[in-house]
């Protein structure tokens, strides 16, 4: 009953998007596309976060979060949900290709073009299977976001 540890290292912080590397138990898995990093941290108060956050265009605060899989009303299927992200609600890991698809969420895939990831659906399916298998065995899933 081991836990699954995901780590995102934000590498390319651009004006309209952020590309990072996703590791599973310290092994590179894929790239991750997020919104713009604006220096938010998990230890900031909700008030501090709201002063900086641009709704739908700001990457979540760096920090460590538990991940559970719940039904997404938007996507109408079970998807990973990051728990207790300060100043945010409904932060999920899901498929998508550009910053227009992020809205605060994390999109796995292959960074093969400026500001985009490809092969996101297949990457997401493989990632979610790893998470579901861990949870089914009684383990937990955590993600650490590093600036």
pLDDT tens per residue, range 50-63? 999 999 999 999 99
Beta strands in the chain, from DSSP E residues, in sequence order? 4-13, 18-24, 27-34, 63-72, 77-82, 107-113, 116-118, 141-146
The pLDDT, as a whole number, for residue 1 is 63
Nearest 5°: phi and psi at 42? -60, -30
Residue 28 reports pLDDT greater than 90: yes
- Looking at residue 19, its pLDDT comes to 98
Average pLDDT over residues 40-45: 97
Q: What is the mean pLDDT of the segment spanning 85-89?
A: 95
Place of tokens 């999920």: 92
* pLDDT value of residue 75: 80
How far does Cα 48 stand from its chain's mean position? 21
The stretch 14-37 carries a mean pLDDT of 98
Confidence grade of residue 120 (pLDDT, cut at 50, 70, 90):
very high
Q: Where are the domains of the chain?
A: 4-146
% of the chain with per-residue pLDDT over 70: 99
């Amino acid at each position: 009953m081991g836990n699954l540890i995901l780590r995102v290292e934000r590498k390319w912080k651009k004006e309209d998007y952020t590309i990072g590397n996703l590791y599973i138990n310290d092994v590179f898995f894929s790239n991750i596309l997020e919104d713009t990093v604006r220096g938010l941290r998990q230890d900031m108060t909700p008030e501090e976060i709201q002063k900086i956050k641009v709704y739908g265009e700001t990457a979540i605060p760096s920090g460590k979060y538990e991940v559970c899989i719940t039904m997404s009303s938007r996507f109408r299927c079970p998807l990973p949900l990051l728990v207790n992200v300060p100043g945010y609600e409904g932060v999920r890991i899901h498929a998508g290709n550009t910053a227009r698809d992020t809205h605060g969420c994390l999109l796995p895939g292959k960074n093969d073009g400026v500001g985009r990831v490809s092969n996101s659906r297949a990457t997401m399916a493989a990632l979610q299977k790893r998470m579901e298998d861990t949870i089914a065995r009684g383990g937990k899933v955590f993600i650490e976001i590093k600036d």
